[in-house]
Structure 1
């Protein structure tokens, strides 16, 4: 199939583009690929989406990379296993793109490439996403926008979350205001959209990462499938109290957090079931508590990401939140592909030099664009 190369003339950019978003999340589940036709503003036509789960060996390599990245001081350093992991990750994404376009042929104008976050320390102006944009562009023959967080972090912003401007575009079809979009991936984050389209966004705390890591250590499966393990356990309220002492929860929004910021060793004396129940309740409690960080309590919570598929977590959220809590599909969205869709949307905004971060979403001093464009050389 012949793919159209990107022409950066302004008349071209005034039209909606076919953008492919690629997301590899902090929960290490796999690669989400989503096709979107968008002008980066009001036009949003959602296309097909596919998730390519990581094999156990791929997950193991990424886990090694996460451990190797903990002492990083420079965003360009790739010591130890990190260089190997970055090239491998890029190759996996190229393979995912090829398979996706084989099944869903399309003339793609641009790819939005998230990469794999291995460390996020905005207080040190440091964020590292593994992924070689130029290599992906060469492997796919499609221009790639990557490294979308770095400019915001370098300017003193949190560099996360970046999806809020896409949430606002989706929310144009909803009547409820204020509305909250909550994405529960490895880390959970909230986008609050006010009555006049105002944006406030921040990480709420842990999402699935702590629970997944707990299950990996105590069971044969690295996740609590259908919330079954937690459903058989009892919540250790004192452990939640200790976890809530983390300084992150005393910090005003906007704010972001690394997946490794919380110490689940406090639960080491618990049974697998009780630990899972406690971590599930902890995630729900931190999401519910985030209502105190926004100007007005949301009238509706739309839950996205893998966490919405955990019935025990959803039940906990509905017990703790005094507003309707629904999965994204209940209002016609795809909770699995929303972040990948957003990366396609952000790539188009980057090409048009439109802002992708805002004072209310990352703490940036002013709205700011970001991202690096890599064109294929072949």
Structure 2
């Protein structure tokens, strides 16, 4: 029997806090996917500054209470901004939109304390747009002793089947999302029980340290194409010390950008600091790739998604660190007809459908949860 297809909008605002990626997809929540459209909506400068300032204020769980007034004010503004996006997309699409996957804007994540705060009021959004909204995707996973992240592996699994079928890419297949934090998904075989077939973990920083250094030391918000890092010189002594001081034995903990700081490059020039931080980031991503590869000697592709894939200096540096691993190849997911900017927003549309169908979105080997977990609150407030 043919499964019902649902139309969903997925909304994702990453740790760069510069705007919202929005994707309209159609899926059965299992193995069917049609990507209808993708759009990017930049935050107004005032909202961007408020978000950055708020994130800098909230350094621990107690600060969530201390700054609750500011949090509530910005949350309302964030929700209004996202709701406006949905209304604009609805005008471009004639058919009914069934669900909204509203990730929200992360300002604090601490898996050990089982707290993950995403700004976004699902009830208010549902009231404003008159649609079913799925939000707060991480809470159930945290309750079931998971790390609350990463949540995109189940969507990567769907993409892997498409890529394998259309482009004859063999398994195992891996996805690397380089957002603020980098995470890696490994799909071991084509058709296998999901609990056994999916492995994922946060591997370290992605863009977060580079972006912070650039914002702090220049008028730019990020290092476009890695040009600033490429023009600098790596301080090898500082790099080696920072690598030695950072423990990479375990990849069991989900990460927040507050787990990393840039104090180790204090005193370096803009260019040299950026080069050193980028090499540190590349080293940790490479170690994550080696960890996921394990003892495998067969050829394996790692498909790059997220904004960090556009940093050509970062990507080349990752490849340099992996030069002895001749079976590993890194390629942009764009090569396989997927836009790497919108994988996460598409994913949250897909996760919304799975939540609505009471299907798991996280698994013991992706987040560490005790059992496959259905996440996301579903609200109809109209």
TM-score (norm 1): 0.91
Larger displacement relative to structure 2 (286-295 or 209-218):
286-295
TM-score (norm 2): 0.90
Q: 2:173 aligns with which of 176, 179, 182?
A: 179
- Decide whether aligned partners of structure 1 residues 339 and 330 sit closer, same or farther in structure 2, where only a CA change above 3 A counts: same
Is 2:336 aligned against 1:331?
Answer: yes
Larger displacement relative to structure 2 (241-250 or 51-60):
241-250
Q: Once the 2 structures are TM-superposed, how far is the Cα of residue 26 of structure 1 from its aligned partner?
A: 1.1
Is 2:323 aligned against 1:314?
Answer: no
Q: What's 1:3 paired with?
A: none
Q: Which runs of 5+ in 2 are unaligned?
A: none
Q: What's 2:25 paired with?
A: 36
Matches within 5 A, 1:1-378: 14-73=3-62, 79-173=68-162, 174=164, 175-196=169-190, 197=192, 198-245=197-244, 249-251=248-250, 253-294=251-292, 295-297=294-296, 299-321=300-322, 322=325, 323-377=328-382
Provide the rounded CA distance (Å) in 2 between the counterparts of 1:192 and 1:76. Answer: 38
Contact kept in structure 1, 2:58 and 2:64, CA below 8 Å: no
Per-residue CA deviations over 1:313-348 (Å, capped at 9, x if unaligned) read 121122223322111110111101110000010001
Contact kept in structure 1, 2:111 and 2:253, CA below 8 Å: no
Q: Once the 2 structures are TM-superposed, how far is the Cα of residue 51 of structure 1 from its aligned partner?
A: 0.8
Provide the rounded CA distance (Å) in 1 between the counterparts of 2:150 and 2:174. Answer: 14
Provide the rounded CA distance (Å) in 2 between the counterparts of 1:106 and 1:308. Answer: 34
**Count of paired positions:** 365
Q: Once the 2 structures are TM-superposed, how far is the Cα of residue 352 of structure 1 from its aligned partner?
A: 1.0
Aligned-partner SS, 2:238: helix
Provide the rounded CA distance (Å) in 1 between the counterparts of 2:170 and 2:151. Answer: 22
- Decide whether aligned partners of structure 1 residues 106 and 214 sit closer, same or farther in structure 2, where only a CA change above 3 A counts: farther
Contact kept in structure 1, 2:57 and 2:63, CA below 8 Å: no
Aligned-partner SS, 1:217: helix
CA RMSD of superposed structures (Å): 2.0
- Decide whether aligned partners of structure 1 residues 149 and 245 sit closer, same or farther in structure 2, where only a CA change above 3 A counts: farther
Larger displacement relative to structure 2 (274-283 or 113-122):
274-283
Contact kept in structure 1, 2:210 and 2:223, CA below 8 Å: yes
- Decide whether aligned partners of structure 1 residues 141 and 159 sit closer, same or farther in structure 2, where only a CA change above 3 A counts: same
Provide the rounded CA distance (Å) in 1 between the counterparts of 2:127 and 2:153. Answer: 30
Contact kept in structure 1, 2:90 and 2:97, CA below 8 Å: no
Contact kept in structure 2, 1:254 and 1:360, CA below 8 Å: no
Q: Once the 2 structures are TM-superposed, how far is the Cα of residue 160 of structure 1 from its aligned partner?
A: 0.2
Aligned-partner SS, 1:339: helix
The runs of at least 4 consecutive aligned structure 1 residues that moved more than 6 Å come to: 74-77
Q: Which runs of 5+ in 1 are unaligned?
A: 1-10
Q: Once the 2 structures are TM-superposed, how far is the Cα of residue 184 of structure 1 from its aligned partner?
A: 0.7
Provide the rounded CA distance (Å) in 1 between the counterparts of 2:126 and 2:181. Answer: 28
Q: Once the 2 structures are TM-superposed, how far is the Cα of residue 165 of structure 1 from its aligned partner?
A: 0.3
Aligned-partner SS, 1:87: helix
Contact kept in structure 1, 2:106 and 2:118, CA below 8 Å: yes
